[in-house]
Amino acid sequence: MEDHPLSPNLGESVGGGEFPAIDYLEWYVPRLQEGVSHDLSQSGFHYPWDWQKLSGGKMPDDLTNPFTNTPLNPREWVAKREGVKPSQVAGGHGVSQSLLFALLSVMNAEKPRKVAVEMPSYAPVSQFPRALGFEVLPFWRGPKNSEDCGSWRIDRESLESIIDDVCAVITTPVQNPTGWMMDEDDQQWLSDICKNKGLGLISDEVYLDTTIGTPYHRPMYKYGPHCVSVNSLTKCYGLGGLRMGWIIGSDKTAVNAVRVMNNLQGMLATPSLRLAQMAWPYIEEPLELIKRRREDNLPHLMDVLTANGIKWTPPPTGIFGCIPLPADVDCQRFIEDICSKHGVLATPALMFSSKLSNMIRVAWGGEPEAFVAAMDAFDSCLQELK
């Protein structure tokens, strides 16, 4: 349904030779591998975990053994931190796999095998249902015009037009690429319409923890037993390689999700859980560093944008935001033809939707000294647009 090479490939269920690529990753990963001087494209926070310190200089003897005297139970870690019962939690390998488990756990089996997915979105979030035999139908949460990068609103009519024909709805409350949390009235409306239609609501909350301690921290699982929150140690905590994710929902949802995991995975990876167990007592530290990096780095970005005549309001939390270029500028061409000359890599918003042709996502979570240098280079890129 998307018509740009970098944008998500939505549509009917797939398999075999029809399997769609994640075209953006095929564009992006080679550029990362080549190396860039100024990487503003990070989707996750890079935190300097000291594994030598956490392990006491020695990896545990039971690194690969799931059956030890002290049970390895990540459901209890998550439940204690979130204030829920362990029976409401299930595990998965990262958000991507946990989304899969969540969808199969809360879908309405009496409805057509179609899923409504919020757009714009990260392609693995919007494409994965196709691999499970679902058709993907988009609904829109977006700007009013080409210069609006604030708190985007749900196009309620776009969801109402398809909701009777789907078995579940998928949303990303802290939106990628804008970094803004969904407005509270939209969140309540989305929960209500799903409840009224007998649909499960799956919420990708991989960025939500940057809002902890603010009014924006509203996990979807609190909105009713038909809602399920999916999260991980990936984006906010710099532990993407561990692939430790989880699901929070009703007891019924969690039972279903564990059974789905047992059917499709068998059990979770013990080494990942052991390493996560070491880091768990310290996972507030990355969140604190995110706040400091925001305080240190964001003003430099604002200065560069202002100097180049770009009006922009940053999201109130998080590590990235979506910035508008002049309306006639193609974001992919800007990054490939201009930014590359200055050693800068940002994220074209076309990777989230073909409608976002003049926007780029910029991350500000880097080391302050390196970020200042990156802003000098980014300023040179924007100067070329004048």
Please classify residue 117 by burial: count the beta carbons closer than 10 Å to its beta carbon, then call 0-12 exposed, 13-18 middle and 19+ buried.
buried
Beta strand 200-204 with 168-171 is: parallel
Average pLDDT for consecutive 10-residue bins of the chain (386 residues)?
A: 84 92 91 93 95 89 86 95 98 96 98 98 96 97 80 96 98 97 97 98 98 98 98 96 96 98 95 95 97 98 97 95 95 97 97 95 97 98 95
Q: What is the pLDDT of residue 275?
A: 94
Instruction: Report the 10 Å Cβ neighbour count for 369.
Output: 9
- The answer to whether the beta carbons of residues 166 and 194 sit under 8 Å apart is no
Whether a cis peptide bond, with omega within 30° of 0, leads into 120 is: yes
- The answer to whether the beta carbons of residues 30 and 370 sit under 8 Å apart is no
- The answer to whether the beta carbons of residues 82 and 220 sit under 8 Å apart is no
Instruction: Report the 10 Å Cβ neighbour count for 361.
Output: 25
Q: What is the pLDDT of residue 333?
A: 97
Cα separation, 280 vs 299, whole angstroms: 31
Q: Give, in order, the Cα–Cα distances in Å from 89 to each of 63, 83, 102.
A: 23, 11, 11
Beta strand 168-171 with 153-154 is: unpaired
Amino acid identity of 101?
A: F
Q: What is the pLDDT of residue 2?
A: 60
Beta strand 244-248 with 227-232 is: antiparallel
Q: Does CATH number 3.30.465.10 belong to domain 16-48+284-383? A: no
Amino acid identity of 103?
A: L
- The answer to whether the beta carbons of residues 276 and 233 sit under 8 Å apart is yes
For the chain, the first-to-last Cα distance in angstroms comes to 34
Q: What is the pLDDT of residue 1?
A: 55
Q: What is the pLDDT of residue 307?
A: 97
Threshold 0.85, pTM exceeds: yes
Structure token digits, residue 1: 């349904």
> Residue 386 gets which letter from DSSP?
-
CB hemisphere CA count around 261 (13 angstroms) = 23
> Residue 20 gets which letter from DSSP?
P
Ranges in the chain annotated CATH 3.40.640.10: 66-282
H-only helix segments in the chain: 23-34, 51-55, 74-82, 94-106, 123-131, 156-160, 184-196, 251-264, 270-279, 284-307, 331-333, 368-383
Q: What is the DSSP string of 268-315?
A: --HHHHHHHHHHGGGTHHHHHHHHHHHHHHHHHHHHHHHHTT------
Q: Give, in order, the Cα–Cα distances in Å from 316 to each of 206, 313, 347.
A: 16, 9, 20
Q: Map tokens 């776009």 to a residue.
A: 158
Helix (H) or strand (E) holding 89: strand 89-93
Cα separation, 173 vs 181, whole angstroms: 5
- The answer to whether the beta carbons of residues 323 and 310 sit under 8 Å apart is yes
Q: What is the pLDDT of residue 18?
A: 86
Cα separation, 183 vs 181, whole angstroms: 6
Cα separation, 15 vs 237, whole angstroms: 34
Amino acid identity of 342?
A: H
- The answer to whether the beta carbons of residues 61 and 238 sit under 8 Å apart is no
Ranges in the chain annotated CATH 3.90.1150.10: 16-48+284-383
Q: Which CATH class is domain 66-282?
A: alpha beta
